Amino acid sequence: MTDQIDSTETSAPETPEAEAPELNMEQEPAAAAPASVTAPKTEEAPKSEYQVLARKYRPKTFDELIGHGPMVKTLSNALESGRLAHAFVLTGVRGIGKTTTARIIARALNCIGPDGKGNATIEPCGVCEHCRAIAEDRHVDVLEMDAASRTGVDDIRELIEGVRYRPTSARYKIYIIDEVHMLSKSAFNALLKTLEEPPEHVKFIFATTEIRKIPITVLSRCQRFDLRRVQTDELAAHYKRIADLEHADIEDEALALIARAADGSVRDGMSLLDQAISHGAGKVTTQQVRDMLGLSDRSRIFDLFDQTMKGEINEALELLGAQYALGGDPAVMLQDMLDLTHWLTRVKLSPEAANDPGVSQIERDRGKEIAAKLAMPQLTRAWQMLLKGLEETRIAPSPIQAAEMILIRLAYAAEMPPPGDLIKKLRNDLNKSGHAPQGGGGGNGGGGPGPRMQVVNGGGAAVAHARPDPLGEPEQAPQQAYAKLPETFAEVAELLSKERETTALAIQLKNYMHLVKYEPGRIEFRPARGARADLSSQLIKTLNNLTGHRWLVSVSEREEGAPTLKEQELEDLEQRKADASLDPLVKAILDGLPKAKIVAVHLPPGQEETEGEGDESGSVYDDAFYLEGDDEL
C-alpha cells in the first residue's frame, strides 16, 4: 500500500494497528517514553492523543498492502527459494508505501515465529520479539537513516564501520536508507564497495522518489522495485473499509472524489479522508468534500463545457462566475474540463468507455449526448487549448480572468469548421469558379474583387488569376506555373545542361553524385570524392528557379547509391565496344590491324535518339575522351 508518514516521523515510535486488544496498550504520548508492553489498560494514552489514520492503519504485513502484487510475488518466491538479494531499492511517488514496505521486508527477514523457531517468511507473525521491536522502531539491528538530513561521507563511514559487526540478536542486520538520492556523490562512492560485497548478515533497503538521481553504479548492485500509483477504484474501496472501521458515514461519490484527489498516493488520500471525517463530524456528503477540496459540481462542468462548445459564451461565463463565487478554483475547473475532454474523446472512439462502473449515471448520459454532437477535430482542438490555458491560468495574476478568456477563445474556436473542411470547400469553390458560366452585373470600374490565389497541381506554387470579368469577357486561360518535372535523374542532368549558367552544376551532378533515391521534386544522393561542399544547396536553389517547384535534396552517408551518370556512360561505352568487337567485319579489321582499337561507336541512323548518349552527332567519342580523365572539358 503506502508510505503513510513523512520521513520526519520515522524517529517516533510506531504504534501497531488495532488488530489485537493487547496492541492498544502500547500507544504512548508524543513527548513521553514508549509505554511498556505489559502496562495495564489504565496507563493507556489519553483520548486526546489522537493518532492520524495514516499511522493508525499503516500495513504490517504484505497482505495488507494494496496495488503491489508483482513485488510481493517476487519477494515471496525469493524467500521460498533462498534467492534473496543483498540490497533492494524501492522507488515511486510519495505516499505509496516505500518506507512501509521496507519495514515489512525487515520483519519478514527477521521473524522467528510465535514459538521462536521460525525462519524468514513472507508472512511475519507480528507477535515475536523481533516483529514487535521492528514495528515499534526500537530494534537494535534494524537501523533507519534519513539521507535527507545525513548526506555526507562521514555518515556513510559510520554506517560502514557498523556493517562488519554481526547482528546483536536478529538474523540479519538491516539498513533502511530513506530518500537515498539525497546522498552526496562522495557518500555514494564510499558505499559502493560495501554495497557490492556486503557480509552475509547484512541487507540494504533503499527508498527514493527520485530514482534518476541515484548513480547507475549503485542501481546495478540492487534489486529494483517500482511501486506504481494505486488505482482510483482500489483507493476508494480501501478508504471505504477504513471509514467503516472508524464508524464514519461517507457517501460513495465522496470517497471517489477523495480517491481521485489522492492521485495514486494512499497517504495523501488518508490525510484527506481524516480531514473529511473531521469536517463532516462523522457524516460526510459529496458536497462537503467538494467544498473542502475546492471542487466545482461535476454536473456543472458538463453544462459549462457544453455551453462553451456550442458558442453560448454569455451563459458559460455566468456559470463560471457562479461556481467561482461558491469557492471553485478556476484552475481546478479548467482541469475538470480537460479531464472531461479526454473522457469524451474516449467515449467518441469507444462507446463502451461510458459504461465503466465508476461512472455515474448522469455522467454516462450527458457524456454520450455531448460526445455525439462533437466531431473529433473539435475535441482534439479543445484539448490543446485547455491544456495551454490551464498553464496560463496557474501563472496569471487573476486566475478567474484568465479562465474567462480561455472560455471565450474556446467558444469562438469551436464555431470554426475543421481545417480539413475548409480546404475541401476552398478546392470546390476554385473548381466551380474555373468552369462557371460568365456572370453579369457590376460595373467596369475597379471596385470589384481583386485577384485570388489558386493552387496549381503539383503543390509548392500558387498563381494569381483574375476573377471572371463582370461584363462577360472571356476569361484568359491560366498560365502554367512551371514546366513538367523531370521524370528521371538523367532528365535533371539534361535540364541543367541546357543553360550556360548551370553547366558547371550539371558536370558536378554527372560526375560526383551517386543517386540513392529519386522522385520528381526529391533527390537523395551520396557525394563522391571531389564534390562541392555546397552541392545540395546549390542544386536546390537552381532547380527551384528552373522548375518553379520546391525541391528537396538530401545527402545520405549510409547508402552507397548507384554509379554516377558518367560511370554509367563509361560502362555503356565499354559494353558497346565489346558488342562491336564481336561483329565479323570489325573482328576481321582488328585481326588484320593488331595495333588498332575501337575508340567510338556510331549508331545507325534511327537509333541515335533512342540509344545515343545525347550528343548531336550520335557519337560517344567526346564522352569517352572525357572519361579518360580530362575533367576540364
pLDDT at 476: 42
Please write the tens of the pLDDT for every residue from 435-487. Answer: 444 444 444 444 444 444 444 434 344 444 444 444 344 444 343 344 568 88
Residue 9 in this model has a pLDDT that exceeds 70: no
Return the SS3 of 24. helix
Reported confidence tier of residue 317, pLDDT bands at 50, 70, 90: very high
Task: For residue 167, tell me if it sits in a domain.
Answer: yes
Do residues 287 and 315 both lie within one domain?
no
How far is the C-alpha of 20 from the C-alpha of 22, rounded, in Å? 6
pLDDT at 39: 39
DSSP structural state of residue 384: H
Among 19-33, 43-57, 350-364, 523-537, which is the least confidently predicted range? Answer: 19-33
Reported confidence tier of residue 222, pLDDT bands at 50, 70, 90: very high
Q: Which residue has the higher pLDDT, 412 or 595?
A: 412
Task: For residue 437, tell me if it sits in a domain.
Answer: no
State the residue range of the domain holding 240.
Answer: 232-292
Do residues 119 and 198 both lie within one domain?
yes
Q: Which long-range contacts (CB under 8 A, 24 or more apart) does 508-514 make?
A: 508/532, 508/535, 509/539, 509/565, 510/564, 510/565, 510/566, 511/564, 511/565, 511/566, 511/631, 512/564, 513/564, 513/565, 514/560, 514/561, 514/562, 514/563, 514/564
Reported confidence tier of residue 556, pLDDT bands at 50, 70, 90: confident
User: What is the residue-averaged pLDDT of the chain?
Assistant: 76
Backbone φ, ψ for residue 48 (5° rounding): -70, -15
pLDDT at 603: 64
What is the per-residue DSSP string for 200-245? TTEEEEEEES-GGGS-HHHHTTSEEEEPPPPPHHHHHHHHHHHHHH
Q: What is the mean pLDDT of residues 356-371?
A: 74
Do residues 248 and 209 both lie within one domain?
no
Residue 605 in this model has a pLDDT that exceeds 50: yes
Residue 206 in this model has a pLDDT that exceeds 70: yes
Q: How far is CA 71 from CA 66, 180, 190, 268, in A?
A: 11, 20, 29, 22
**Residue 55 · residue 5 · CB < 8 Å:** yes
Please write the tens of the pLDDT for every residue from 255-300. Answer: 888 888 888 889 988 998 988 888 777 788 888 887 787 665 667 8
Task: For residue 462, tell me if it sits in a domain.
Answer: no
Which CATH number goes with the domain that contains 405?
1.20.272.10
Among 141-155, 483-497, 508-522, 605-619, which is the least confidently predicted range? Answer: 605-619
Q: Which residue has the higher pLDDT, 365 or 185?
A: 185
How many structural domains compose the chain?
A: 4
Task: For residue 99, tell me if it sits in a domain.
Answer: yes
**Residue 371 · residue 348 · CB < 8 Å:** yes
Do residues 327 and 351 both lie within one domain?
yes
Do residues 99 and 65 both lie within one domain?
yes
Of 175, 197, 227, the one marking the end of a domain is 227
pLDDT at 303: 86
Task: For residue 447, tell me if it sits in a domain.
Answer: no
Do residues 302 and 249 both lie within one domain?
no
Task: For residue 134, tell me if it sits in a domain.
Answer: yes
Do residues 269 and 306 both lie within one domain?
no
pLDDT at 31: 36
pLDDT at 71: 85
Residue 48 in this model has a pLDDT that exceeds 70: no
Residues in Cβ contact with 449 at an 8 Å cutoff, skipping those fewer than 6 apart: 467
Q: Which long-range contacts (CB under 8 A, 24 or more apart) does 191-200 make?
A: 191/156, 191/159, 191/160, 191/218, 192/217, 192/218, 192/221, 194/160, 194/163, 195/87, 195/221, 195/222, 196/221, 198/86, 198/87, 198/163, 199/163, 199/164, 199/166
Q: What is the mean pLDDT of residues 156-185?
A: 90
What region, left, alpha or beta, does residue 341 occupy, with left being phi > 0 and alpha being psi -120 to 50 degrees? alpha
Q: What is the mean pLDDT of residues 214-229?
A: 90
**Residue 441 · residue 470 · CB < 8 Å:** yes
Reported confidence tier of residue 1, pLDDT bands at 50, 70, 90: very low
pLDDT at 359: 66
Do residues 79 and 214 both lie within one domain?
yes
How far is the C-alpha of 214 from the C-alpha of 209, rounded, in Å? 10
Residue 100's nearest CA partner among 61, 132, 140, 142 is 61
Residue 626 in this model has a pLDDT that exceeds 50: no
Reported confidence tier of residue 180, pLDDT bands at 50, 70, 90: very high
pLDDT at 383: 92
Of 387, 415, 443, the one marking the end of a domain is 415
Task: For residue 218, tell me if it sits in a domain.
Answer: yes
Please write the tens of the pLDDT for every residue from 406-416. Answer: 999 998 887 66
Do residues 171 and 270 both lie within one domain?
no
- For residue 186, what is its C-alpha cell? 562522495
Reported confidence tier of residue 612, pLDDT bands at 50, 70, 90: very low
Of 366, 388, 415, the one marking the end of a domain is 415
Task: For residue 200, tell me if it sits in a domain.
Answer: yes
Burial of 288 per CB tally in 10 Å (0-12, 13-18, 19+)? middle
Do residues 93 and 178 both lie within one domain?
yes
How far is the C-alpha of 142 from the C-alpha of 205, rounded, in Å? 10
Do residues 547 and 410 both lie within one domain?
no
Which CATH number goes with the domain that contains 531?
3.30.300
Please write the tens of the pLDDT for every residue from 379-404. Answer: 888 999 999 999 999 999 999 999 99
Which CATH number goes with the domain that contains 74?
3.40.50.300
Do residues 280 and 356 both lie within one domain?
no
Q: Which residue has the higher pLDDT, 598 or 630?
A: 598
